[in-house]
Structure formats: C-alpha cells, structure tokens
Amino acid sequence: MKYLYYIAAIMLVFSGLAVYGLFDTRIEISEPFISVNDRIISKAEFEKMSRRKPAYMSREQFVESVIDQQLMIQEAIRMDIHKEESFRDTVENFYEQSLIKILLDRKLDSLKVDVTKKEIARYQEYCGYKVFLTKYIYPDMENALNKTNETVQKIAADFTTLSDDLKFTVLDLKKNGYSQPVHKGMQGVVVYRLDDIKESTSMEKDQSDILDVQRIQRQLQDMKKEQLLEDWTRSIRQSADIWRKK
C-alpha cells in the first residue's frame, strides 16, 4: 500500500540502532553472552535480538554482526555524534514516523471490506477498455470546491496501465461524472472527470489477468481500504482546529 512505505528506509536504519542498545539504557547483567568493552549483552537480550536475525545469516555470523554494530555505536558515541543537532533531529523524525506507521497499521487492520461479484466483473470488463479522463488540479480544497485556479490535464490510457488509485476512481465513475476532491500531497487537490470509455484497439486482453479472480479481489480490497483510510484521514483534518499564516 502506498500510505506507509515511504518511511521504510528510515526504519531500516534505526531499527538496528534500537535493537543493538543505543536507545535502551537498561542492561541485563545476568548470564552475560557478549561483552564489547563496557557494553554487556546478556543471553536473554541476545535472544531477543536474534528474532530479527536475517534468514541468510548463521547464528555465528549474527553474533559477529552484533559485535561490529556495538563497536560502531561506541565509536559514534566517542565522537559525540549522538549530541549533534542533526542526529537529534533524525531520531525525532524516526520517532514521529514510527508513531504514524503503527497508527496506520492498526487502522488498516481494523478495516473490513467486501468485494462483490459485480465489482469483480466490472473490473474484468474494464481491462479491455481505454479510458479518457480530465484531471483538474487545484492549489487547495477551497479552490477545488469553488472550481477556481485550476490546472487541466487530459489523460487517455488503457485501464490496465492506470495506477491502482486511478483504477479505483474510474470504476466508481459514470460517464461525465466527477470524483471527490482529494489531497495529493505536493500536487495539491485533484479531481477527475470520466469523459469517455471505449474498447481498446491498441492492446490484446491479458486473459490470465482478467481470469485471476483472487488477484482482482485482493486488489479491489486494497483499493477499498486505501479509500477508507483517505476518508478517515480527511475526517481527522476536517474536525481539527488548523490555522496557518497566508
């Protein structure tokens, strides 16, 4: 899903630091398993670390990687890198992004959606069509509601080549119908109009994709969850007291 994975790189970097003790000041001294200078890692702590051991590593290789990590952390602390403002800013950002990820994960897990046979059939039918859309881009929601200061783009593409988000939008539209305005990050607020839909002459239908009902069902479920998540996020924004200087 698109809503979470932009923080994957940050989490990959800092999960290692968290596991190897930089952020955990509690040191278990019973049953020592590894000692690196003044850092003692107990057997229980190491077993907890081992839960994140990559599958390709042997236990001995993982032990060596823990030792290397501890040496690097100790060297970074010796150089006072942990006191630098840039480091504190990065840790703060990681903390905030982690909160957001956990929140979104839990929200997604709580969302229950159904996909009907009619929806699957509609998706299969559209796989052989070309869609013609008008994309309206507005600087903010106020302009979108008033239909002012818009930028217009024309889109003509086979349904199968559209992004998952846009597929879901098209499936929900009738000819000449408009989608709800949605915030799209740096793009601004976006609205689509379905101008036309015609049988495609530029491609052959991929029968394997069209007949893969389970794949289509999973894709539609993901699309519906994404839409519900956007609706939920929009409701939070609408109920919030927000002010910013113009």
Q: Does the model's pTM come out above 0.85?
A: no
pLDDT band at 2; cut points 50, 70, 90: very low
**Rounded CA separation 230/101 (Å):** 15
Give yes or no for residue 30 having a pLDDT over 70. Answer: no
Set out the domains of the chain in order of their start, with CATH numbers. Answer: 5-110 (no CATH), 117-239 (3.10.50.40)
Percent of the chain, pLDDT > 70?
A: 84
Give which of 246, 244, 227, 236 is closest to 108, Cα–Cα.
Answer: 227
- Average pLDDT in the 190-208 region? 78
pLDDT band at 34; cut points 50, 70, 90: very high
Condensed to tens digits (0 to 9), the pLDDT of residues 168-181 reads 899 989 999 999 88
- Kindly report the number of other CB atoms within 10 A of residue 170's CB atom: 20
Condensed to tens digits (0 to 9), the pLDDT of residues 103-114 reads 999 999 999 999
